[in-house]
């Protein structure tokens, strides 16, 4: 019986430091509170603003550097959220024209968040793909995109800058700058929602 008492004493003394060490061990982090949304990055806020433009839009185009383009023909813009909310597709064409790529311009632009930035890739009818990064204005109404790089040939120029401005739920403007060599060409679209 004496040996059982010694074994029990040794066992209790062996377990006591373990119990003490465990009580001072750092507690695992509590799971995030699902009722509180995580803080959004500036890129995600800008992207969420871009998602509000989803729909069909039409309006006149003004190109100060090319007066013959200011003929009053409206432009049609389609914006849609796709890829489970991870991308926005922006398509433009002259209103009332078919989607015939051999006959009419039909550039497509993709917007998405990656690497903490709002990215824009413009698949241009000039055969290149400018990549821009966007930032939202302090008032939350404008997202402005600056050129990062261009893939593909630039002998026919390239899109260089874009600005989307929210006016209200049924009205927004877009300003695109196209570079022809070192000469900028500005296009201003004043767009009304058609659906």
Q: Which stretch of DSSP H or E encloses residue 188?
A: strand 183-193
SS3 call for 20: helix
Tokens read off for 10: 């040794």
- Domain assignment present for residue 183? The answer is yes
Structural domains of the chain, count: 1
Q: Quick: pLDDT tens for 65-80.
A: 988 888 878 999 999 9
pLDDT of residue 100: 76
Which residues contact residue 96 at a Cβ distance below 8 angstroms, ignoring those fewer than 6 apart? 76
| Ramachandran quadrant class, 92 (left: phi over 0; alpha: psi -120 to 50; beta: rest) | beta
Q: Quick: pLDDT tens for 138-154.
A: 999 999 999 999 999 99
SS3 call for 30: coil
Tokens read off for 45: 């806020």
SS3 call for 12: helix
pLDDT of residue 4: 37
- Domain assignment present for residue 37? The answer is no
Q: In the chain, where does DSSP find H-type helix?
A: 2-24, 42-51
Tokens read off for 137: 């204005």
Query: Where residue 134 sits, what CATH number does that domain have?
Result: 2.40.128.20
**Residues of the chain with confidence (pLDDT) below 70:** 1-38
Q: Which domain holds residue 163?
A: 42-193
- Domain assignment present for residue 5? The answer is no
Q: What is the 3-state secondary structure (H, E, C) of 73-89?
A: CEEEEEEEEEHHHCEEE
Distance CA 152, CA 107 (A): 15
pLDDT of residue 10: 37
- Domain assignment present for residue 137? The answer is yes
Alpha-carbon dihedral sign for residues 125, 61, 76, 81: positive
**φ and ψ at residue 4, rounded to 5 degrees:** -65, -40
- pTM (2 d.p.): 0.78
CB 189 within 8 A of CB 174: yes
- Domain assignment present for residue 119? The answer is yes
- Domain assignment present for residue 9? The answer is no
- Domain assignment present for residue 65? The answer is yes
- Domain assignment present for residue 32? The answer is no
């Amino acid at each position: 019986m004496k040996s059982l008492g010694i074994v029990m004493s040794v066992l209790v003394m062996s377990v006591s430091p373990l119990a003490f060490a465990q009580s001072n061990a750092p507690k695992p982090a509590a799971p995030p509170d699902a009722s509180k949304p995580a803080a959004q990055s500036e890129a995600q806020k800008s992207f969420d603003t871009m998602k509000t433009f989803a729909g069909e839009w039409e309006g006149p185009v003004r190109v100060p550097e090319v007066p013959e383009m200011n003929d009053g023909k409206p432009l049609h813009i389609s914006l849609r959220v796709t890829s489970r909310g991870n991308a926005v597709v922006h398509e433009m064409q002259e209103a009332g024209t078919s989607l015939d790529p051999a006959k009419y311009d039909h550039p497509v632009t993709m917007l998405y968040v990656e690497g903490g930035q709002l990215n824009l890739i413009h698949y241009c009818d000039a055969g290149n793909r400018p990549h821009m990064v966007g930032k939202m204005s302090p008032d939350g109404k404008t997202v402005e995109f600056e050129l990062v790089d261009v893939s593909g040939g630039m002998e026919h120029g390239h899109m260089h800058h874009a600005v989307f401005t929210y006016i209200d739920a049924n009205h927004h403007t877009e300003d695109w700058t196209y570079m022809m060599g070192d000469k900028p060409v500005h296009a201003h679209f004043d767009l009304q929602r058609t659906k």
